[in-house]
Structure formats: C-alpha cells, structure tokens
Chains A and B, each alone.
Chain A
Amino acid sequence: MNPSQQNELPEPQETPHLELISDGEASEGILYVGIDMGTSRTSVAASNGVRATVASVVGYPRDIVGQKLFGRTVLFGEEAIEKRLSLDFHRPLEKGVLKGSDGVEGNDGDVRAARDLINEIIRRARPRKDELIYAVIGAPAEASKRSKTAILDIARESCDSVMICSEPFSVAYGQEMLEDVLVIDIGAGTVDLCRMHGTMPEDADQITLETAGDYVDEKFAAAITESHPKAQFSKEMLKAIKERYASVAEEMEPCNAELPVDGKPTELDLTRELRSACRSIVPPIVKGLRKLIATFDPEFQDRLKDRVLLAGGGSQIKGLDTAIESEMQKQLGSGKVMRIEEPMYGGATGALKIAHDMPEEYWERLK
C-alpha cells in the first residue's frame, strides 16, 4: 500500500463475507487480566486465553524523521532495544518500582513510559472494545504505598478497575499453595521471598532483596572486566549472554561468547565468570530464607523448608534449585526446592487467578 493510501479505506475487491462485530451477546463481557510488571520484563495473562510478555523498555523516536522511519511514535520491548540508539530510551522500572517514586530517581519521561508500557501490555492481551477490563498487578513484596499508588494511577487509565497485590503472593496463589510454603521470586531488579502460612502474608512474612538479575549482570560485568580488561560490552550484550548460558552447575555448558576486544570481535570463554556471577545470589537468598524460617512456628519449620517454590525469570538459571537446596542443607539442615513450570508467567497467571476470584462488589467499589 502506498503511503498516500494509508489513511484511506481501500475498496473491497469482491463481495465481502461480512461478520458482525457484536452479536449482542459479546457485549458487557469481563476480561480479567493478571500483570506481572517487572524491572526486566512485563508479562500478562488474560481470561481470553492470551498470554504475552515484553521487555520493560520503551522508546520514543527523537524526531519526526524517526517517527516516519519507524512508522509510529512509540516502540516497546525487543524492537525498542534494537533501535535504542535512535530513540529516547526508557526503562521505567527499577528495582521493581516506578522510577520517580519510592526514592528511585526518575523523570516525566519515565512516568510517560510506564503509562505507555501498561497500555501496551494490556493491548497485547487483545481485549475487545466492548468488554470491561479488571486487572490485578503484582508489585514487589516490600514496595512502598507510594510506589503502588503510582502504578495504580497509571493503570487506571487503561483498566475499568485495578488492584495491586504482592508479587510472590500471587505466584503462590496461582500454584494453589497457600499454606506452609516459601516463595522465591527472582526478577531482574529484586528477589522477593514470601512465607505463606494460611493467611494473607504480612510485612514480617516478606523480604525483598536487591541481589537479583541486574545484580548478576553487574557481577558478570565486573568479572569479565577483571579477566578481560579490554573486552567491550554493553548491558544488553551481557544480558543476552546470561539468558543463553546462565548456570550455577559445576559442569555447565561452556559459555563462549564473542565480544569486541579493541574493536575486533573475539571469542572469549566466560564460563567461570558467568557461573560465579550466578552463584552470587544464592547466599543472600538462603540468608533470607533462614530469617523467615527461624521466625516461624518451630513445629512447622521443617515443613516450610521442604516446600520452597522457585519462580521468576531468574529461576531459569540452570541448577539454581539444586544450589539453593545444597546451601539450605548446609545452613538449615534440610531443604526442598520446586521450580514452577512456567517461570515467565507464574506471577501473571497468579494475578489472573486472584482477579477471577475477587468478588464483584470489590471491583465495583474500586472503579
């Protein structure tokens, strides 16, 4: 189609087979949406069967030329990463909270980017225009009220009714594990630990650690710099390498990555550096688990140690479940870690389940 025809309706070529948009029965449906808004990735699961995930990055063409080039005014996810040099690039979340809130530095561009990101993830859930959207969004366990209200404010623009809940709690709820369970939700910005014991978790039941995916990236970068001082790399490069090879196992797949060294692409063996970086998050996690176990009813501590749920993008690090178990054995005498089946969507599907189970009157009052 020529650019000049882009804004005109093309004439039908033949007698079309017409379909109704609305048959009367489809109107006034309820689309439940569960959103996991992470530092690195934002995922959505909806009651129309759609699941989608996008990197939590937003880019705006810098000028009209860029808009023409890209064909739109905003880009998201991998596309934005790929073209970031031409874009006003934003990562609107840091350590699991919106930039500009909760003591995290940010600007108006970050708020706008967060708004557009939420709009985009809901758009990717493919809602019908005649349906109400009821959304539950997972927030880090120890996110402040200010941070949560900031998310709610921007989410209300896209949703008819929206609620926030604890991210690790939504993981446990989605797995129907509501009693005597420890949840480890490893994201990019935070690792959330949550103790489930048959009631709504309180502050004392939740711990947020900052030794998460981004921490691994930093460790990885430092290790590479130490081993290969002249190697050149970006955060995105390391992230890609990590996501491809990440492992804590002694016998892991060799991590041979090509990085420019003085401008020349050079294959480097980064196995040791990557393994070391991945292993660096295990001690803080077990330390946090120890705290939650130690402050639990002693009669049920062993039961708690045997029901540890591993979720989040970071749970995909190979061998991490075994490594945590091993460390728990050393420090706590026992431990059994279970990895959830779909780590990318654990939080979103849990939030969806919460949305489904929420009574109607609660949705109405929060509209």
Chain B
Amino acid sequence: MPSLPFASLSATDQGLFTPEELRSLMDKELSRSRRYGYEVVMLSIGVDRISSLGDLYGHESKDHVIEEITRLLVASTRSCDFLGCLLGDRILALFPHTGEPGAKAVANRLVSAARELEFSAGGPQVSVTVTVGIATPNSAKEHELEILVEGAIRACQEGQDAGGDCWQLAEHSTNGHDVAAPGIEDSSEMAKLMDEMLRTKMRVIFESMGEEFPDLEGRDSEVFALALEKMAQGRRSQDEKLEVLERRIARLSHNLGLTEEQLQRAMEMKGVDPGIASIYREVQGLTDGGSDKKLKKDMMSAIYEANIELQKQAENDKDD
C-alpha cells in the first residue's frame, strides 16, 4: 500500500509510518478485533470525478483536494480513532471499536462537510463531493485486510457509479466477496450472474432429460423465481407428508406390540404352545477349525447332490 500515511493510533500522533508498518498495524488491529470480538469498520473515501479534476486543473490540484478532505476526516473524528492511508486517489481509514452506525455517522459528516468546500482555480469556483464506501467484517474471512479493503473500495466505486455524493454500505457474501448492496437495481451484475447460473443449471437438467431448453420469452427471472418457489413448496409438502407417515408408523408399531401381547395371552389361555426359540438366528454351516472339516464339507456336498437327484426324480415322476 503506497502513499503517505497521515494518522495513527499513537497518542502522541507522531506521524508517519511506512506502508509496511501501517499494513502491519491494520492487520494487528483486525486480528485483535476478531480475537476480542469488538467491531471494526473500513472506510474508503473517494473524491468524485477526481480524475477529471486532475485533467482540468493539474495533478497538484488533486493532491490539494485530497489534503483538504483528509483534514475534514481528521476534524470529524478523533485522530486516535483510526488508522488511515492513501491508496491511489482514495483515502482508506480503519476504525476500531466502531460499528456500522458510527461509520455511517462519520460518512454523513464527511459527505456533508465536503459539499461546503470550495476551491478556486484561478477563476471559477470548483466544488467537490465525496463518496464514502463502508465495509464491516461479518465473517472470519472478512476480517482479512485485503478483503475488507476491497469491500470498502468496491462500495465506494458503486456509490460513485451511481452519481456520488453519498455513502455506500458494502454487502456481505458467504465467500467473502461483496454482493450487490440493497437498493441496487435488478440489472446489477450479481443478479445477472445468479440468473446465468440458474439458467445453466436448468439447461443441464433439460438436456439430461433429452429435452430442449424452452424459450422463456425474456421472462427468465420470473420463471426461475416461480420454479424455486414451487420447489420449496414441494419440499415443505414432502416434509409434512414424511412427518405424518412417521407418526403413523409409530402408532402402528405401538398397536402391533399391543396386538402381539393380546395374542400371546389368548394363546396361553387356550393352551396353544408359542414354541421355543432356536438358539440360532442365522444359518450356521460348518464352523472353522476341526481337522476333519474338509471331509465333512465333502460329505455335506454329497448329501446335497443326492437330494438334488431326488428332487429331479420327483419332478420327473410328476411329469410322467
């Protein structure tokens, strides 16, 4: 992470850290937050249309604007509250012990304060706006610095793509990458990606059945959503049926036990012999061991063969 650090968590505010040192500090802060369970939040602050500023008023103008924004950031927070650095044209700030509400408050102050700034370019007045991307870790993976930074930058970019002069909260995904933030249109990249994955899956299913994938006449999302709903309904219905069947089986088993008890009682009273169980639950055969096992095995085969012959003879006699 290049560029000039301008704030630290040091109480004396000694100033500059090397990029490596700052990264290490941020890593350690994130680890501490994960270990001790306190909140952290990463802000990515970008000056809207800053590349145009540079094109129009020169590279020094960009730096000047960024410096002012940095001053606003420091002014809107306590200097000991965050670790910050520049990453390209964006300011990154890691706020420990700060949750989403706090981050939104900072972002709101910054966005509002930035509107009040006016720059003079040797003639016309130039106003700037900023967009703040807010990323909070919601999983162990998202506690990694790179992922948190990426999330904050992506949220900032999305806000700027939507017009800027706002703050944007990054959404969480199970794989650590950001998904579309709430309020984003259906035409978002993630929604498109989900639709494409579902379409592919449906195509595979149809092809496996030897059927051609039908033309959904542009109503893919509706159809897929309906199909998913049907599947969920079917699953719920199956679960309910399963539960009913399990209850019936339990009831039948209970009744069977009662019936058997009654039957045995009746048999005893009538003097009917229920029998004595064999000591064997399974067919035995010759046991291992014994010096004459081979001899006995041959004898069993001979008896069996002789009985097969008898069986054939009986069948022949019947045919005759």
Residues in A lying within 8 Å of B, measured CB to CB? 9-10, 12, 16, 18-22, 25-26, 28-32, 46-50, 126-129, 131, 134, 145-146, 148-149, 152-153, 163-165, 173, 178, 198-200, 354, 356-360, 362-363, 365-366
Q: Is the CB of B300 within 8 A of A30?
A: no
B105 within 8 A of A: no
B197 to chain A, nearest CB (A): 48
A128 to B260, CA, bound (A): 14
A153 touches B314 (CB 8 A): yes
Query: B59 CB to closest chain A CB, in angstroms?
Result: 86
A20 touches B303 (CB 8 A): no
User: Does residue B228 face the partner (Cβ distance < 8 Å to A)?
Assistant: no
A21 neighbours in B (Cβ, 8 Å): 260-261, 263-264, 274
Cβ distance A77 to chain B, nearest Cβ, rounded Å: 17
Closest to A360 in B: B283
Within 8 A of A (CB), among B96-130: none
Asked if B280 and A32 sit within 8 Å, CB to CB, the answer is yes
Q: Which residues of B contact A48 (CB under 8 A)?
A: 275-279
Cα separation A31 to B273 with both chains bound (whole Å): 16
A365 touches B308 (CB 8 A): yes
Tell whether A20 pairs with B276 under 8 Å between CB atoms, given A164-B307, A357-B296, A358-B303.
no
Q: Specify the main secondary structure of chain A where it touches its partner.
A: loop
Identify B273's interface contact among A12, A28, A126, A134, CB under 8 A: A126
Alpha-carbon distance A342/B31, docked complex (angstroms): 86
Task: Tell me if B35 is interfacial: C-beta within 8 Å of chain A.
Answer: no
Given the interface pairs A19-B261, A126-B273, the reply to whether A25 lies near B310 with Cβ below 8 Å is no
Complex interface bits, B286-314 against A, C-beta within 8 A gives 1, otherwise 0: 10000010011011101110111111011
Residues of B within 8 A of A10 (CB): 269
Interface string of B249-281 (1 = CB under 8 A from A): 000000001001111111001100111111111
**Residue in A31, A153, A178, A359 whose beta carbon sits within 8 Å of that of B292 in the complex:** A178
Contact B276 A126 (CB under 8 A): yes
Q: Which of A20, A46, A153, A365 contacts B260 (CB 8 A)?
A: A20
A29-B280, A199-B298 known; A12-B265 Cβ under 8 A: yes
Interface of B is mostly: helix
Query: Which of B257, B269, B274 is within 8 Å of A128, CB to CB?
Result: B274
B284 lies within 8 A of chain A by Cβ: yes
CB distance from B316 to the nearest CB of A (A): 10
Q: Is B185 an interface residue (CB 8 A)?
A: no
Q: Which residues of B contact A22 (CB under 8 A)?
A: 260
Interface check B20, CB cutoff 8 A: no
Instruction: Verify if B285 is at the interface (C-beta below 8 Å from A).
Output: yes
Q: How far is the CB of B264 from chain A (nearest CB, A)?
A: 4
Q: Which residue of B lies closest to A22 (CB)?
A: B260
Are B277 and A131 neighbours in the complex by a CB distance under 8 Å?
yes
What are 20 A-B interface contacts by the 8 Å CB criterion?
Answer: A10-B269, A19-B264, A20-B260, A20-B261, A30-B281, A30-B282, A32-B284, A46-B278, A48-B276, A50-B276, A126-B275, A131-B275, A165-B303, A178-B292, A357-B286, A357-B300, A358-B285, A362-B304, A365-B308, A366-B308
Q: Is the CB–CB distance between B263 and A131 below 8 Å?
A: no
Partner of B266, one of A9, A127, A366: A9
User: Is B317 located at the chain interface by the 8 A CB criterion?
Assistant: yes
17 further A-B contacts with Cβ under 8 Å, apart from A126-B273, A127-B278, are A9-B270, A19-B261, A20-B260, A21-B274, A26-B277, A30-B281, A30-B283, A47-B279, A48-B279, A126-B276, A128-B276, A163-B307, A178-B295, A200-B302, A200-B303, A359-B300, A366-B311
